[in-house]
């Protein structure tokens, strides 16, 4: 195999053993390439100076203690994870977030049932303050739409970071936001069926606030 000075960089980048042998043969008669090859190899040798595998005797006991404490602190973790083992395993935050969403849905269902059971039976009675009047409802919906639009802008800004998360923390945020979006969609569907229900609106507002905070924290990591 014959190589020239022009082949030097491609061989440095991704050369095979045979190509390296050919380059060294060429370097034997080319002082410039000989110098370059020597300098290139010396970087690998210099890298050895950054290798320090000396052990610290107290280090493993420290890690072991932390692992044991963590295991003792979360004895139910494995059990909880087992419950959600049918789900795709994304991160440790995913089952917790899903459990939170399920609890939220349960609370909403119970609240709806409670409101239904407490409604005035004779059709007159006192006005239920948890129901919004049509004017107030329009205001709420208008404010909600504006708020949602603002959050969408935040979401668009955070999208590149979330779509290819550079850290486990960002991946967790991504999953949390997916769960929040799912809970928001659920609440919006319920609010659509029962637009005058103020409780649902409060729950929806809380979800939006949570989403806003999560997005702000994601954007904070960028700065």
Q: Total binding residues for another protein by CB under 8 A?
A: 59
CB of 142 to another protein, least distance (A): 38
Residue 30 binds to another protein (criterion: CB under 8 A): no
- Angstrom distance (rounded) from CA 208 to CA 202: 10
Per-residue contact track with another protein, 126 to 165, x per CB under 8 A?
Answer: ----------------------------------------
- Residue 12, interface with another protein (CB under 8 A)? yes
124 Cβ neighbours under 8 A, 6+ residues apart:
none
- Identity of the residue, 64 or 152, whose beta carbon is nearer to another protein in the bound complex: 64
Q: Is 46 in the site for another protein (CB under 8 A)?
A: yes
Beta-bridge mates of residue 197: 131
List the one residue from 2, 6, 29, 44 that touches another protein (CB under 8 A): 44
CA dist 11 and 22 (Å) reads 10
CA-to-CA dists, residue 47 to 9, 14, 41, 51, 103, angstroms: 20, 19, 10, 7, 54
Q: Measure the CA–CA gap between 111 and 197, rounded to whole angstroms.
A: 10
Contact letters for another protein, residues 92-111 (x by CB under 8 A): x-x-----------------
Task: Say if residue 113 is exposed, middle or buried (CB neighbours under 10 Å; 0-12, 13-18, 19+).
Answer: exposed
Candidates 2, 6, 14, 121; binder of another protein (CB under 8 A) is 14
Per-residue CA distances from 49 to 12, 42, 44, 53, 54 (Å): 21, 11, 10, 11, 13
72 binds another protein (CB under 8 A): no
Cross-strand bridge partners of residue 131: 197
Q: Among residues 9 and 157, whose Cβ is nearest to another protein?
A: 9
Among 2, 6, 29, 54, binds another protein (CB under 8 A): 54
Residues that bind another protein in the complex, under the rule CB under 8 A: 9, 12-17, 20-21, 23-24, 27-28, 34, 37-56, 59-60, 62-64, 66-68, 70-71, 74, 77-78, 81, 85, 89-92, 94, 166-169, 221
């Amino acid at each position: 195999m014959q190589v020239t000075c022009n082949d030097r960089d491609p061989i440095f980048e991704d050369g095979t053993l045979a190509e390296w042998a050919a380059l060294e043969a060429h370097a034997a008669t080319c002082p410039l390439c000989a110098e370059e090859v020597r300098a290139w190899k010396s970087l690998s040798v210099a890298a050895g100076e950054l290798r320090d595998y000396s052990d610290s005797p107290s280090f493993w006991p420290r890690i072991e203690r932390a692992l044991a404490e963590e295991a003792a602190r979360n004895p139910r973790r494995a059990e909880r994870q087992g419950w959600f083992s049918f789900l795709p395993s994304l991160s440790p935050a995913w089952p917790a977030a899903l459990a939170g969403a399920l609890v939220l849905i349960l609370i909403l269902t119970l609240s709806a049932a409670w409101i239904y059971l407490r409604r005035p039976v004779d059709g007159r009675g006192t006005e239920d303050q948890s129901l919004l009047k049509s004017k107030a409802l329009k205001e709420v919906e208008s404010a909600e739409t504006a708020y949602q639009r603002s959050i969408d802008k935040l979401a668009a800004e955070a999208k590149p970071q979330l779509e290819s998360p550079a850290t486990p923390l960002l991946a967790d945020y991504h999953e949390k936001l997916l769960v929040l979006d799912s809970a928001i969609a659920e609440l919006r569907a319920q609010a659509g069926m029962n637009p005058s229900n103020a409780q649902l609106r409060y729950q929806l507002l809380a979800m939006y606030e949570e989403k806003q905070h999560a997005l702000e924290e994601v954007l904070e990591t960028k700065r």
